[in-house]
Structure formats: structure tokens, C-alpha cells
Amino acid sequence: MKLLRDKNFISRSLILTGSIILLFSLSVDTFKGGGQPASFGFRQVIGMVLGFLLVCCGTIFFLRNSDSSLRERIQTHKTSLAVFMAVALGLSWLLYIYNAGIRFSPDSVAYQSFALKMHHIADFDTGATWPPLYPILIHIVMYIQRFPAGAAAIISGLSMIGVLTIFALILCKYSNDVALIIVFIASLFFWDKFLYIYTPAWSEPPFAFILVLALFL
Amino acid sequence: MVRTSVCIHPGSRAFFVIKHYEKQRTRDYFYASLIIALAPFIRYIGLALVALFLGYTIYFIFAFRVNKRSSVVKYLLLSTISFLPIGLYLLRNYRDTGTLTGERLPANLTIFGNLNSVLEVFVQDINLYFRILFLISVIFYVIILFNKNRIGNTKNIFPSSFILILFFLYTCFILYTTTQAKVDPIGTRYFAPLYPLLLIFTFIGLETILSSELPELVGFSNIRLFRIGILSLICISLLANIIGFNAWLDNISKNRFVPVSHTEAGFNLSPTSLNLNKYFHRILELQDQIHVVVSMDFQLPYDKYFGPDMFYRESILRSYSTNRFAFGDIQVYDDYWGTIRDFSLSMQIDGDPKLIKYHNTPRIRNDLQLALYLIEITEEYNADNITLIVHNENLVFIGDDVLLPTIDEHFDLVSLESIDPYHVYELTISK
């Protein structure tokens, strides 16, 4: 009870827990279920991000209880903090989707076929049914990664970074509460139904990015 | 309260539509127009955004009393950037096909059925706690909207209205499309791009509630309790998302290592896909032209619209050794869309031209049908021998003496080898 009355108990606990998860994730694939073969540790990355998040939250709580100059300092850098977190989460997604591989659907195969045509025989016609910009994007990224599925995975990851970053910037415009902003960024990233459109080679991820960008950037 | 003034990026200067509304600068309008023009080129549903932007332009001209004729003309001219490119593209489509967005079959669902699907998507996709938060935001948005004079701080009304109207327009466009033409059924895929905007709307609403005396104004006497309630709901909502995320990741992890399920989580780690890829490399090295004839009764388990042709096409597409591709007669639609899936694929491997012709066949339900079909193929293509790739799933069981005796009546078995330790065998037979 004495501990609980300590103002900095929560912040210290958060920092300690976060540090343990962070360090543990760096060495072991912390959250992996048993019985599965070894793979790229997305959960390891998530464990690291979660650990980092807890350390950040703990630090913020600590600073809230500190003197006013520190509080002002964290308010001053709230946008940088939020953007840093958004980019970190987006990067973790880029690493995951690029390494684990993107999913295919009938639409994906059509988009990739058009991208291949664009890339190798400079035929940019996608017919009336398919809008051309997504295959063009794949075609452009194919100059970096010549395999179209890899290019689509890079687009998915970059779109995620873009959406989360613009999202963070928008939240920062309307609030000074760093903790609330971070919770909302995490809410978006951990929303499985939102992530669902980022797993196959679909045009939805860049579309989501354009939607947010057009309105708010 | 300290306002942010030091940024490492142009965050505070980055709101083109919103910024234009606040500062009425033409430059911001131009940027917004430029970016909005891209949306329908990625997905045609982006036309909803273009429509909203045009609505905003008209509203702006009237609301801000842009009286000067030169200014009105300037805005109208700039707004053409948003719709002229896609307009010309749709006209070109109309010239070529007689339709604006391609030929599609008539829909078989009514608007009420589709409306029901929309509601189902929202209920399934959005967790209960977030739905409550969203509802609270909507209620307070309406209260602020109708009490603008009593409540001083109304700067958040515009972005919230913009998002709500976009949401409404977008849903209407989707309802119209799915009622008019046979497209993918309404699902998460359609609405997920809007979820960041949904979160932003809720965030703006909750931030307004938490940082003002608004709750007291509408009758909540204990503001502190009200705020604790809201914050708790936000935390529980995040927790629900994380739990859902974990289950989703578990599902991917499980599916990834099921041998036949090669694309649920990705292609690189699937043994079936990797082995088939190697197999295609090998047969392409030996032959200049191959016919892939698929008539298997297997359906990949995770996606009812994902047929075997996609499986093979994907195996071919991911080939690193094939360095030049040219597709002919690409038809990706399946029976669901009313067209056939046959395609041909020409390519070069180290300078040698190669051709893969893919043929979709009727579904074969027993071994006798398979044997008869093999005779038909060998006659049609005048082939002396034929290689079968057998997916040992629903139809044929190598080693169970079911397929082989039937085939033996008509063909000689040349070789039988395992391509994939789980499900795929190669079977070469000759007449």
C-alpha cells in the first residue's frame, strides 16, 4: 500500500516492465506460440515496440509528476514523439510484410500482371476495369525490387508508414495530450481489420494513404 | 497550456483542405486538389472524395462570400485539377468499352441486402467499446453543431463534418456500385481505408469533450467521473484491439505452416509453393512450350474465390530466373464474374523464348473421368507423353491403388516422383 501511494510507483513499474520486455524481445522471440517452426519474429519486433511504448508511457507519467519545465519540454516535443512512434510501428510492418511475404488474391494477380507488362514491355493499358495507378506504383518500385510481389510488399509497408505518420500529425494538431495520442496510434495499428487490407497485394493501402493525405496533408 | 511550435517536420503546416478552410489560401486548395485527383486512379470509389471536394468548393464560395468574379473563376479552374484527369480517363473507357468502369454482370443483391452487409461489417469490424466512443462523439458533435452560439470553441466542427460527409458519400457510392454491378461482396476490404478517418473523428470528439466544460453544459454534474469513464473506455477499446490482433496473428502463424495454404501469410515460407516454383523452373529449362492443364477438385482453404489457376500463376509469377515476361490474353476473372480463366504467358529464360499456356477444365470428380480426360488432351495436343501434377487431396490418392490402376488401362506409367513431401506428386505417363 505504501508503494501504491508513491507518486512515481506506476511510472517506475512501467519503465521496468517495458525495459524487461524490450531486452527480452531482443534476445528471445517472446510471444511466440509453441510448436511452430522458427520464422521471422514479427512478434519479436512487436515485443520491442511494446516494451518501448511502456518505457515511453512510464517516462511521460514520470515527467508529469516532475517540475513544470520538463512537462513543457515533453509538450514541445509531442509531435516528434508521436511521429517517431508512428514511423517505428510502420517500419515494423514493412519489415514483417517484406520478409513474411504478401498474400495474393485474384485482384493481386491482375495488378501484378499489369505491373509486369508495364515494366517489361512498356504497355500501360490496364483496361477499363482496373484503375492504373496501383500497377504503376508496383512498376516504379520494381526498379528497386524486380520481383512484383516484393514490390507490392514494399508499397504495403510504405503506405502503412505514411498512414500512421499523417494520422499522428493530425492527432497532434487537435490535442496536447501525448498519452492519448499514443493510445490512438496504437489503437489504429493493432486494429486487425485495418491491418487486413495490408496483407494482400491490393490497392487499398495506397488508397487509404491518399484518403488521409488528401484531407489532411 | 503549451502549444507546439517546434517541429522537425512540417506537421503544423500540413492540412490542405482544413488549412484552406482556416486560412483561405489558394496554395493549399491547389495541393488538396492535386492529391484528390490521384484517389480515383487507385480505386474508382475515390470518386466519392472528388465529389465531396467539389461540394466543398461550392460551399466555400458561398460561405466565405467569394464575390470577386476573378476569385470564383480561379477556384472553379483549380477544382478542375481534381476531376478533369479522371473524367478524361472515364471517357476513354466509355469510348473503348461502352462503359465507364468496365463491363460487369448485373448485381444479384438488392440495396437492402447490401445495406444489411454494411451494418454487419461495422458490427464485426469495430469493437463494442469503440462503437460506444464513436456514438458519444457523434452525440456531442450534434450538440456542438446545434449550439454553436452558446459554445465558443467550434473550430473542430469543420474537420468532423468533412469526415462524416465523406463517410456518408463513400457508403452511398458503395451501395450504388454493389446494387448495380456484380463486384466483390461488401466486406472489410471496402471500409478499412476509412478506419483512420473514423478514429480521427472520434479522437477530435473525445478531445473536445475531455478538454472543455461541455459535459457539464449538457447535464453531467460529475465531470471527473465522466472523464474517467471515457478514458477507461479508450483503454478497454485498445485492449480489445490488441486481443483481436493477437488472435489474428495466431491464425496467420498457424496457416502459414499448413502445406497447402501457401499465401495466407506469405509465399516465402510455404513448402508447397517453394517446391512448385522449383518444379516450374526445372520443366521450363527442359521445354520451350508447356501446357498447364488444371482440373483438380481442390480449393485452397482460406479463400473461396481463390482457384487453382491462381496457385499456378502465382508460382510462375514469383520465378526469379524468368527475366522477361509478356502476358497474352490475360483474363483473371473466374466463373463468379462470368468469364473463363485461361491465359498464356510468354517469357525468356537466359534468352530462350518460353511459353506457358494455361487451360482451365471442367471439374473432374473421379479417376475414370481423369483417365478419359487425359486421352482427350493427348489427342488434342498430339502429345506422346504427359506429366501430371497430382495434388493428393480430395480426388486422388497415390499409393491407395485408386488412380494408378485406372490410368494403367490406357497409359504406361513412366515415372512417379514426389515433388512435395506432403501433397504434390509428378506422374509421367505415355500412350
How confident is the model over B274-303, as pLDDT tens digits? 556 666 666 667 767 666 665 544 333 333
pLDDT in tens, B244-263: 887 777 666 655 544 433 33
The angle formed by the CA atoms of residues A12, A51 and A43, to the nearest 5 degrees, is 160
pLDDT over threshold 90, residue A19: no
Is A63 found in the same domain as A84?
no
Q: Which residue has the cell 469495430?
A: B126
The C-alpha atoms of residue A173 and residue A184 are separated, in whole angstroms, by 14
Kindly determine whether residue B49 and residue A172, on different chains, have CB atoms separated by under 8 Å.
no
Chain A contacts of B11, Cβ < 8 Å? 79, 83, 169, 172-173
- Those of residues 77-96 in B touching chain A at CB distance below 8 A are 93, 96
Same domain, A84 and A188: yes
Q: How confident is the model at residue B40 (pLDDT cuts 50, 70, 90)?
A: very high
pLDDT digits (tens, 9 = 90+) for A165-211: 999 998 988 888 888 898 899 899 989 899 989 988 899 999 999 99
- Grid cell, residue A129, equals 476495369
For chain B, the average pLDDT equals 71
Are both A65 and A109 inside the same structural domain? Answer: no
A47 in the same domain as A81: no
Q: Is B193 at the interface with chain A, CB within 8 A?
A: yes
Residue B18 touches chain A, beta carbons under 8 Å: yes
Alpha-carbon gap: A27 to the closest alpha carbon of chain B (Å): 20
* Distance separating alpha carbons of residues B154 and B177, to the nearest angstrom: 36
The structural domain count of chain A equals: 2
A95 plus A140 within the same structural domain: yes
Q: What does the pLDDT read at residue B39?
A: 92
- Expressed as residue numbers, the domain containing A28 is 1-71
Residue numbers of A between 61 and 100 with CB closer than 8 Å to B: 72, 75-80, 83, 97, 99-100
The answer on A64 and A89 residing in a single domain is no
Helix (H) / strand (E) containing B354: strand B352-360
Which residue out of A112, A129, A155, A176 would a mutagenesis test of the B interface target, given it has the greatest number of B Cβ atoms within 10 Å? A129
pLDDT at B404: 63
Among B6, B46, B266, the residue with its CB nearest the CB of A101 is B266
Is residue A137 domain-shared with residue A47, that is, in the same domain? Answer: no
Contacts of B55 in chain A (CB under 8 A): none
Instruction: Say if residue A67 is in the same domain as residue A83.
Output: no
Cβ distance B102 to A192 less than 8 Å, yes or no, reads no
Using an 8 Å CB-CB cutoff, list chain B residues near A68: none
Boundary (domain end) residue, out of A36, A71, A106: A71
Shortest Cα–Cα distance, B379 to chain A (Å): 31
Q: Is residue B238's pLDDT more than 80?
A: yes
Instruction: Give the amino acid at B137.
Output: S
Most confident of A76-85, B58-67, B93-102, B332-341: B93-102
More confident residue, B208 or B246: B208
Which residues from chain B sit within 8 angstroms of residue A194, using beta carbons? 192, 195-196
Task: Classify the C-alpha dihedral B195-B138-B142-B13 as positive or negative.
Answer: negative
Residue B172's pLDDT is 93
Stretch among B98-112, B151-165, B347-361, B385-399 having the lowest mean pLDDT: B385-399
Three-state SS for B371-419 is HHHHHHHHHHCCCCEEEEEEECCCCCCCCCCCHHHHHHCCCEEEEEEEC
Whether A204 sits inside 8 A of B43 (CB atoms) is yes
**Quick one: pLDDT at residue A55?**
78
In contact, A64 and A76? CB cutoff 8 Å: no
For chain B positions 364-393, those within 8 Å of chain A (CB to CB) are none
The model scores a pTM over 0.80 = no
* Contact at CB, B192 and A194, closer than 8 angstroms: yes
Nearest-by-Cβ selection for A216 from B14, B99, B238: B14
Asked whether residue A50 falls in the same domain as residue A118, the answer is: no
Within this chain, do residues A122 and A60 fall inside the same structural domain, yes or no? no
The answer to whether residues A170 and A109 belong to one domain is yes
Contact B133, B202 (CB under 8 A): yes
Same domain, A39 and A53: yes
